[in-house]
Chains A and B, each alone.
Chain A
Amino acid sequence: MRHLISPLDFTTEELNQIFDLAASIEQNPQKYAHVCDGKILATCFYEPSTRTRLSFESAMTRLGGQVIGFSDAGSSSASKGESVSDTIRVISCYADICAMRHPKEGAATVASSKSLIPVINAGDGGHQHPTQTLTDLLTIKNLKGRLDNFTIGLCGDLKFGRTVHSLIHALVRYPNIRFLFISPEELRIPDYILEMLKERKIPFEEVIRLEDVLPQLDLLYMTRVQRERFFNEEDYVRLKDFYILTTEKMKLAKEDMLVLHPLPRVNEIDVEVDDDPRAAYFKQAQYGVYVRMALIMTLLELV
């Protein structure tokens, strides 16, 4: 039995199999509409994340399966002090597979060590969010046709953004990737990631302004820059416009550059950009369902 706790739990070959399956599901959803008949997915969400939970529920429902679960710790036995280990043992009796989100880092690791059913980490604090990474990779692969040979710009909060960290770790396994990190000084990419890139001799650059590097990019991954991350208001006001993508800035970008964003966005991508064919973030949400369908089938060994 396998679990998905970190995006690196699967080899690039195994990921390719999942992506191929996701592509097949996209082509012919009818063929997969009953593969999970009689199976139950438990969504154990100790903190609310409506988007991620609905994506899992949609995926299981589209496969013909059923969903049970809770969506905040207050309505679950966790509020009565039940441990993750005990909860997963009980859930193992109720369901065939579990997607767990928890505010504490490593919660899904604990669950997987006690579980009798496959566990999917749907986010454990600031640590990992592997299904988001799989979604990002599938989006790039389907829209670009490859996962190698490109320059990717990661923009915004690179210090606390776990989706960014996971994506970098996943992408370094593919050849010829160049990273451009675009962030304010306060929100720079952590040193341990830069050290890892240096060790692997993977080219990267750090810049402050998005416009300076936009023409070089094949992919632009946007994230939120939150006001509360700044030491003072002046810095926030001074810098925030650097990290807002507008139609004006999009004129600098390549014809076939893709804009990705893990969503939800606040104001870092101007709504006018949504109509640009290079905006891929809503397609990303669609791929998120396909990749979760493929993942559920893979972990339930229905492939």
Chain B
Amino acid sequence: MLNVGKIEEGFVLDHIKAGKSLDLYDHLQLDKLDCTVAIIKNARSNKMDKKDILKVECSIDMLDLDILAFLDHNITVNVIKDGEIVEKKELILPKRIKNVIKCRNPRCITSIEQGLPHIFFLSDEQKGVYRCKYCEEKYSEPAK
């Protein structure tokens, strides 16, 4: 396997669905950070055949990882300090999501109002249900 150097402090996001690492890069706004990022695509995995891995070298309080729980709850988050894994972080669904997903209800005010942020709130933690702040419709994945 391709070898990428160890990091001293930061995160290793493992078991990302193959091909999805760039989406996560965008959602975590890593482009705005001045830090070393390694993106490994299509790495071999015992658990899932192929996977992506993201390694981010940064201070561990710099990233808000809650959104990962919403995007893909299978991701393993390893927290690295002094070159060692110090924690496997549990992902918790965020209470509120802003401008990550869009309301798909055609009757919703977000479909016509200019410049309105798309905000969803967690309405059922057990089932992971999110509802639009404005029309309260349940969010559903767009059909592929």
Known: A106-B109, A107-B109. A83 touches B114 (CB 8 A): yes
Known: A84-B109, A125-B107, A126-B107. A106 touches B132 (CB 8 A): yes
Closest to B114 in A: A83
Chain B residues positioned under 8 Å from A83 (CB to CB): 113-116
Contact B136 A127, beta carbon cutoff 8 Å: yes
Contact B108 A105, beta carbon cutoff 8 Å: yes
Chain B: interface residue total (CB-CB under 8 A):
17
B107, B116, B133, B137: the one contacting A85 at CB < 8 Å is B116
Q: How far is the CB of A234 from chain B (nearest CB, A)?
A: 30
A103, A110, A126, A127: the one contacting B113 at CB < 8 Å is A110
Contact mask A44-85 → B, CB, 8 Å, 1/0? Answer: 000000000000000000000000000000000000000111
Using A109-B134, A110-B116 as known contacts, list a sample of 5 further A-B pairs with CB atoms less than 8 Å apart, ordered by residue number in A.
Answer: A83-B116, A104-B108, A105-B109, A106-B110, A109-B133
* B interface residue numbers (CB < 8 A to A): 105, 107-116, 132-137
* A interface residue numbers (CB < 8 A to B): 83-85, 102-107, 109-110, 124-127
Task: List 26 A–B pairs whose Cβ atoms lie within 8 Å, in order of A's numbering.
Answer: A83-B113, A84-B109, A84-B113, A85-B113, A85-B115, A85-B116, A103-B107, A104-B108, A104-B109, A104-B111, A104-B135, A105-B105, A105-B135, A105-B136, A105-B137, A106-B109, A106-B110, A106-B132, A106-B136, A107-B109, A107-B113, A109-B109, A110-B116, A125-B135, A126-B107, A127-B135
